[in-house]
Amino acid sequence: MPEPVLEVIDLKKHFPVRSSFLGMGRASQWVRAVDGISFSVGEGETLGVVGESGCGKTTTAKLILAQESATSGEIRFQGQDVTRLKGNDLMEYRRSVQVVFQDPFSSLSPRMRVGDIISEPLEVHTDWSRGSIKSRVGEVLELVGLQPEQASLFPHEFSGGQRQRIAIARALATEAKLIILDEPVSALDVSIRAHILTLLEDLQKQLGVSYVFIGHDLAAVAHISHRIADMYLGKVVEMAESRALCTDPHHPYTQVLFAASLPSHPDEDTEVLNLSGEVPSAINPPAGCSFHPRCQFAMAQCSQFEPVQKTLAIGHMASCHLHEGK
């Protein structure tokens, strides 16, 4: 595996639920949005993060971006603990870690010209001259397949795919080492998605940038990711190389998730797996394995004991009682 750019170690984020009027009282309950996750992202690597809505993907992204403070655990970027950064050190980190949001129609200000949108993070994070900033705006526009002359236009003058290219250019402008891609293609037409995924891959090869790719479109995640982490109710239940997780998932939740989204070959004789019910509340998660109320393979110990993470093969880990003792 490449040298880690990002390391997340036993990371937790628990939000308080206040009981008094206006939410000013003491916390009576806690939402365990992220509950002890660990993973790393290497230089020039893409880690996909998947799971149903409410599993903690977005909170994980906000923690990495330093938009939320962690309850406990560590986020290490190039060896530095991000949770302890302040002042200029935190500003430098935010220059190195950027984000591309889901909806290019709402993430770009309609009142700003494209050049101003892309130059804004440069004005915040650098002391470059106007000429240097203008030159950099032209460079990143060309990197994403647009023309420097288009910097004078407004977002509404571009298609959805072009707007997402502008959002990617903005993320690249500060020479970011890590980009959080939060559902970057889900708001685009199917015909455009492949072009954006190919662009992201080409940029990674050219610049060596690392990605955390968060998505519901498992086909897109599987295509672009080197490794995938599957989250359920604030925990990473399985993680492996992309091909291994798609072709040979070990956790029942991963099996159901990928079986529903990545259909098998028509000639293959595959077992039908069902995912019933909704994701339980993160305020009062089930005892033992949090997935056991929805798991068709649940055993007695599943409701009593939380499974420990086991290494099933090189780089392939899962937390499931079915694999204990193997």
CATH number at residue 229: 3.40.50.300
Q: Please state, in angstroms and rounded to a whole number, the distance separating the CA atoms of residues 232 and 53.
A: 9
For residue 266, the model assigns a pLDDT of 47
Residue 69, classified by CB atoms within 10 Å of its CB into exposed (0-12), middle (13-18) or buried (19+), is exposed
Q: How many CB atoms lie within 10 A of CB 109?
A: 12
With H, G, I as helix, E, B as strand and everything else as coil, classify residue 252: helix
- Conformation bin of residue 116: beta by default, left when phi > 0, alpha when psi is -120 to 50: alpha
For residue 3, the model assigns a pLDDT of 80
What does pTM read for this prediction? 0.92
DSSP 263: P
CA distances from 54 to 176, 194, 235 (A): 28, 27, 11
For 135-150, give one letter per residue: b (16+ CB within 10 A) or e: ebbbebbebbebeeeb
Q: Please state, in angstroms and rounded to a whole number, the distance separating the CA atoms of residues 40 and 77.
A: 10
Q: Residues 14, 31: contact at Cβ < 8 Å?
A: yes
Structural domain of 308: 4-323
For residue 326, the model assigns a pLDDT of 59
Q: Residues 224, 217: contact at Cβ < 8 Å?
A: no
With H, G, I as helix, E, B as strand and everything else as coil, classify residue 309: strand
DSSP 319: E
Q: Return the structure tokens found at 86.
A: 């302040």
Amino acid at 131: G
- For 195, the enclosing helix (H) or strand (E) is helix 190-207
Give the number of residues written for the chain.
326
Instruction: Please state the domain count of the chain.
Output: 1
- For 166, the enclosing helix (H) or strand (E) is helix 160-172
Name residue 4's beta-bridge partners. Answer: 42
User: For the chain, which ranges sit under pLDDT 50?
Assistant: 265-266
